[in-house]
Structure formats: structure tokens, C-alpha cells
Amino acid sequence: MTAAISLMTLSYDADEDRVLFACEVEPDGKLLLQCTRRLLNNLVPYLIRAQLNHAEGPHDVSSYCGENRTPPKLDERVAVIPDGSTESLLVTSVDFSSTANHIVLAWKDKDEVSRARLVLTFQSLPSWLNALQQCYVSGSWSTEVWAGVFLQEKFESEDQPFTVH
């Protein structure tokens, strides 16, 4: 069974040049997901386009589309801090599916086994993307992945699940 993520803290690891997702998973565990720039560069446009397709207006997405604005305040809950017993996993692909109210991301390992599942509402997605963009900035990664989204067409199979590698 795939573990459900109940809380996630994003950070950038300069030693590995990866974004880390420290997760609390059900039931009562922790998991550290490591993502490469290549994987995230492939995933981010789908997340932004999904948000655009569900946004009520352009103000809903402006904060992570290359404008110089202060990101909204994120959830004030305590950060997830991995410890020595936390399993670490290099994510090699992500299954993406969406409904009218949320996006589901299933994080998979090198054997294509789904290891954790994150459900993001369209209300929480902008804050999550802002946190991810801050990781890009911390790593001095190019944020062009956010800038070119408006030029791309609406993706056709919006309601069909797919995998991002």
C-alpha cells in the first residue's frame, strides 16, 4: 500500500543538488523524497497548467509565474525534520492525476513502485509551488520553467492520469 503524505517540508540540499521533500506519512512515519532538477523541470509545467485550467482568474497564479512578488505565507505547522531512522528515497518518476478539486502525485522509486501519495487541493497548490520555487532559487536553478508556461497550450488529456519521468 502506498503511504499517504499528511505533511511535507520542502528544502534544497546543496551537497546533492536536489530538492528534498521531508514527509510525514500515515501511519506515524517519515519519508525523505529526493528529486532531481530534471524530474522537477518535467513535473512543474503540468502542475502549473493544471492550476491554470482550474484557476478563477490570473491573480491565482501570478505569484509563481516569474513576477517579483512576495510568496504567500505558508502553513505555520512545525516542519518535518528527518532523523537517522528516516528512509530516504530517490524519486525517479511521479504519477500525476487530477479531479475537479485536487491533484494526486504518486512518488515512485527506480523500480517504478509507488512509495508515497500526496493530495494537493487547488487552493493549496500555489503555496506548494511557491515553496518549490524558493528551493529553485536556493539552488540557483533556472526558474524559466515557471516563465514559459503561459505560452504552452492547454494539455489535452487533462483528466487522464500519466507519469512524469
Give the model confidence (pLDDT) of 150-162 as tens digits: 434 444 445 666 7
For the chain, the structural domain boundaries read 3-150
pTM of the model: 0.80
Residue 89 has pLDDT above 60, yes or no: yes
Residue 164 has pLDDT above 50, yes or no: yes
DSSP state at residue 7: E
Q: What pLDDT, in 10s, does the model give residues 44-86? A: 999 998 888 887 544 344 344 443 333 334 455 688 999 988 9
Nearest to 117 by CA among 156, 155, 91: 91
Per CATH, the number for 3-150 is 3.30.2450
Nearest to 146 by CA among 38, 64, 29, 46: 64
Q: What pLDDT, in 10s, does the model give residues 98-148? A: 888 899 999 999 999 999 999 999 999 999 999 999 999 999 999 898 876
Where do runs of H (alpha helix) occur along the chain?
Answer: 37-54, 125-138, 144-147
Phi then psi dihedrals of residue 72, to 5 deg: -65, 155
Measure the CA angle with vertex 142, ends 69 and 88; round to 5°: 100
Q: 163: pLDDT confidence band, cut at 50, 70 and 90?
A: confident
Predicted local confidence at residue 106, as pLDDT: 95
